[in-house]
Amino acid sequence: MSIPAVDLNDFLNLNTKSAFVEKLGKSFNEIGFVAVKNHGLSELHTKQLYDSFATFFKLDEDIKNKYQIPNGAGQRGYTGKRKETAKGFSAADLKEFYHIGQENKPLENDLWVDYPDNVWPTEIPNLEKVGLEVFKTLENAGVKLLRAIAIYLELPEHYFDQKVTTGNSILRCIHYYPIENPDLLEPDAVRAAAHEDINLITLLMGASADGLQIQRMDGSWESVTALPDQIVVNVGDMLARLTNDKLRSTTHRVVNPERDLMHLPRYSMPFFMHPRSDMDLTCLSSCINANYPKKYSDMNSGQYLHERLRELGLKK
């Protein structure tokens, strides 16, 4: 499935801005996914980050485990193999991952928000520099996309700005590790079971192998493809909740490769764009009417994140 594609430069051009907003909004309304070019992320940065984490994930387990934060709900540093289980599934995902978070901690009610500190492996000396550069680049692209979404929703263009520029966003570097003996796996064990993302939007750097699929309205599954110069962007549950599902948080998964390819690894690096924890996710009144009654209870993004992390088994 070739998902709709947009050029972020069109949003910055007054002659093409309206058309960009309409196409992005329609794509998120109908599919929940879009491919974006001119996002600002260079091929060099992408390669440097992939190379750094390929090196990290090859380290011995006892070394990697040094960067696992006890009782940290997997929000920073390393999370080991088979620690995350999608809601409704019994088998844990076949992956391990590393989280890079916000360095700039915002003020809320005159107090600094207590985001966890980032953890940088001493074995990968260039990771901090390139990791933070990629984080900031994708955050900047996300801000622009959310401005377009705000216009589509008939909100002020900068509605999301302060909510996300110091938000609890996460760059997740995932290693879908090789499976040497597929016969030992549980029947429903896959790289990433069917799920929806928690956040506002997700910006996905090109993965190192195929496997991403999205679920169509009729329940069937279709593989997603994007060109090398594009990133894939999808709606998360927080944005769907805010818009009363006017914008779709589409179910997606990462399937296992053919049996003869399961010994090969796959790397993927999504940027989960979160707002500050005090953002109100109450459904927008403009998205509620007789045909679309309010679907969700009122809560803020911090409460919703806590709820979902417990469902994933990352938080008690």
Per-residue pLDDT of the chain (316 residues; tens, 9 = 90+): 678 999 999 999 999 999 999 999 999 999 999 999 999 999 999 999 999 999 999 999 999 999 999 888 889 999 999 888 888 888 899 999 999 998 866 655 544 466 888 999 999 999 999 999 999 999 999 999 999 999 999 999 999 998 998 899 999 999 999 998 888 888 889 999 999 999 999 999 876 668 899 999 889 999 988 888 999 999 999 999 999 999 999 999 999 999 889 999 999 999 999 999 889 999 999 999 999 999 999 999 989 998 888 887 777 6
Q: Delimit the domains of the chain by residue range.
A: 5-311
Q: Judging by beta carbons within 10 Å of its beta carbon (0-12, 13-18, 19+), is residue 209 exposed, middle or buried?
A: middle
**What is 5-311's CATH topology?**
Jelly Rolls (2.60.120)
Give just the sign of the alpha carbon dihedral 203, 236, 92, 226.
negative
- Distances 212 to 41, 51, 191, 194 between C-alpha atoms, Å: 21, 21, 10, 10
* Cβ neighbours of residue 268 closer than 8 Å, sequence gap 6 or more: 174, 176, 204, 205, 207, 208, 212, 254
**CA atoms within 13 A of residue 108's CA, in its CB half-sphere:** 16
Q: Closest Cα partner for 23 from 2, 40, 39, 8?
A: 8
Chain centroid, CA 43 distance in Å = 20
Assigned token pair, 242: 């805010």
This prediction's pTM:
0.93
